[in-house]
């Protein structure tokens, strides 16, 4: 069966964000036909949208999956709902946000799904954790994402804590 390496961006700034992201990673590890391969540290970041909201906790996970892109998106949206996702306003606070950043070498333009994720190159809270686990991460056209870090340096993010697959417990391989 064909498998793809897929990078997922996770973010939360409500209801114990650190635990939301850790539980989100465990839930990714438990998806059918899917293995959790690597996980970044947790990072904290200042909100990009409205400033009157708490800081975010962010991470990036690498999965290997047999799921199709839309099947994976459906699964991620179910996990967001399971986390009791609250969406109050555009770019506002949320319990758990799960984004497909890269899906193998695919470029996807679908009414529900755009990959590579349209904003990933502008967001340091995506690029830092992604490059931590995949320093050579690149777009399907071959462009190295490391080159985008320089123009995101003004954005405020900081290392929060290191995660390991072992520390995530028995759900992870």
Report the C-alpha gap between 102 and 22 in whole angstroms.
20
Which is closer to ligand AMP, CB of 100 or CB of 131?
100
Q: How far is the CB of 113 from ligand AMP (least distance, A)?
A: 5
Report the C-alpha gap between 87 and 97 in whole angstroms.
10
Count residues near ligand AMP (CB under 6 A).
8
94 is catalytic: yes
Which is closer to ligand AMP, CB of 46 or CB of 113?
113
97 is catalytic: yes
Among positions 93-122, residues that touch ligand AMP (CB under 6 A) are: 97, 99-100, 112-115, 117
Instruction: Tell me if the bond preceding 116 is cis, omega within 30° of 0.
Output: yes
Burial of 165 by CB count in 10 Å (0-12 exposed, 13-18 middle, 19+ buried)? middle
99 is catalytic: yes
* Catalytic pick among 23, 94, 123, 124: 94
Q: Which residues are catalytic?
A: 85, 94, 97, 99
């Amino acid at each position: 069966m064909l498998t793809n390496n897929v990078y997922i961006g996770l973010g939360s700034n409500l209801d114990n964000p650190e635990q939301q992201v850790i539980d989100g990673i465990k839930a990714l590890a438990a998806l059918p036909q899917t293995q959790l391969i690597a996980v970044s540290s947790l990072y904290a970041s200042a909100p990009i949208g409205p400033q009157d909201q708490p800081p975010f906790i962010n991470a990036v996970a690498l999965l290997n999956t047999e799921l199709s892109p839309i099947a994976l998106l459906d699964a991620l949206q179910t996990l967001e709902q399971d986390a009791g996702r609250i969406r109050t306003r555009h770019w506002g606070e949320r319990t758990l946000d799960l984004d497909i950043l890269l899906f193998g070498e695919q470029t996807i333009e679908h009414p529900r799904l755009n990959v590579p994720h349209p904003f990933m190159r502008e967001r340091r809270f995506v690029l830092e954790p992604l490059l931590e686990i995949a320093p050579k991460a690149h777009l399907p056209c071959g462009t190295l994402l490391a080159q985008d870090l320089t123009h995101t340096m003004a954005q405020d993010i900081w290392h929060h804590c290191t995660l390991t697959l072992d520390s995530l417990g028995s759900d992870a391989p």
